[in-house]
Amino acid sequence: MADSHLEIEQILAGDHKAFEAFVKRYQRLVSHIVFRMIRNDEDRRDICQDVFIKIHRSLSSFRHESKLSTWIGRVAYNRCLNYLEKKKVPLYEDLCNEGETVDSVIGSAVRPDEYAEDQDRSARLRHEIAGLPAQFRTIVTLYHLDEMTYLEIGDIMKLPEGTVKSYLFRARQLLKERLLAKYQPEEL
Amino acid sequence: MKSVHATEEQIQAYVDGIIGEDFALLSEHIENCEQCRETMHQYRALFGELADDTGFELPAGFARTVAAQVEVGKDGAVAPERWSPAVLFAILGPALMAAITFYILGYESLLSGLGDFGQTMLGNIDAMFTGCATYLQRLGLRPDLFLFTMLVLLVISGLDRLLRTLRHGKAMLLA
Ligand SMILES: [Zn+2]
């Protein structure tokens, strides 16, 4: 991996190619967050683009105090929150205070029941993930796809490490149960 | 110990490879208990599927498009915001207006205006009104008037654009 100091200097100096390489390297991370937070397919791409333009604009203020990937994640996550706020989409976090309410929130989370029975398992999983609250979806993805630690995820989402851990646990337990409850009987 | 099943949380941690103090006991139980082993396999399969990176596709050439966008921004809205035409008009416009006024009114009235500075506020305001009246009288329908009107319009549009730029900048900061 390229030295981030050097790369940032090149980008700040106006190196067009350096920025393109930078976007290529981090577009996966940004798309993971944006696609998990935003349901609207049409807006996702624009938001990903916005995120990188914003990053380009504020790259000079990056102080190397945190990992570059965490900082990028934070910009992406905040952009999504801003979008959801404008669209008045409620974040489940606002509805629940402590551990016990997390359960009630999950219980009431939207769970569309229509699905094609012949879909393969990964499509079923994607369907179940889509039924989770936005923050749960994002945590699961950052943990399993971007291999981030609880601390790094918490840094991006401004959540305590313990909360990240418990959300991740609840989300995965829920996914397992839903996949089993829904699909196992047919498979037996 | 063998009769107590591992909790869901423990099994998840086990599959994650997070090793706690009770790892040896936990591992022994899970490997020997059919029920816990079954749960462990379910989680293992789930975690494997969660590492599947499909459904996040951005269009081909995304990075190139974004980099090009930033390049365009360079000459427009991004860094040189401070020196955009809006700002230039906002600064140069009033300066030019002052210069034209100064030219039309002449040096004497300006100097006498400065001399009046020590007088009361009322006196100054009075002098200003008189100055304006004289000024308008002197302008008549000369080309200066046209130029002056143009400048006023430019300044107004310049200020408007400046305000918009600032508001936009603020919105971007909040985003
Ligand atoms: Zn057991």
Best probe of the A interface among B35, B40, B70, by most A CBs < 10 A, is B70
**Nearest CA-CA distance, residue B35 and chain A, Å:** 15
- pLDDT band at residue A155, thresholds of 50, 70 and 90? very high
> For the segment A43-84, what is each residue's pLDDT rounded down to a tens digit?
999 999 999 999 999 999 998 888 999 999 999 999 999 999
Handedness of CA B27, B29, B31, B36 (dihedral sign): negative
> For the segment A106-143, what is each residue's pLDDT rounded down to a tens digit?
444 444 444 444 457 778 888 899 999 999 999 999 99
Helices (H), chain A: 4-12, 16-37, 41-58, 68-86, 92-95, 99-108, 121-130, 134-144, 150-157, 161-187
> Does the ipTM exceed 0.90?
no
Cα B82–Cα B84–Cα B88 angle in degrees, nearest 5:
90
Closest residue in B to A137 (Cα) is B50
The radius of gyration computed from the CA coordinates of chain A, to the nearest angstrom, equals 18
Residues 6 or more apart from B50 whose CB is under 8 A from it? Answer: A125, A140, A141, A144, A145, A172, A175
Using a CB-CB cut-off of 8 Å, the residues of chain A touching B61 are: none
- What are the structural domains, with CATH classification, of chain A? 2-87 (1.10.1740.10), 92-187 (1.10.10.10)
Which pLDDT belongs to residue A102? Answer: 43
Candidate from A56, A141, A176 with C-beta closest to B70: A56
Is the pLDDT at B79 greater than 50? The verdict is no
Which pLDDT belongs to residue B86? Answer: 67
Which pLDDT belongs to residue B167? Answer: 59
**d(Cα B138, Cα B167) in Å, to the nearest integer?**
40
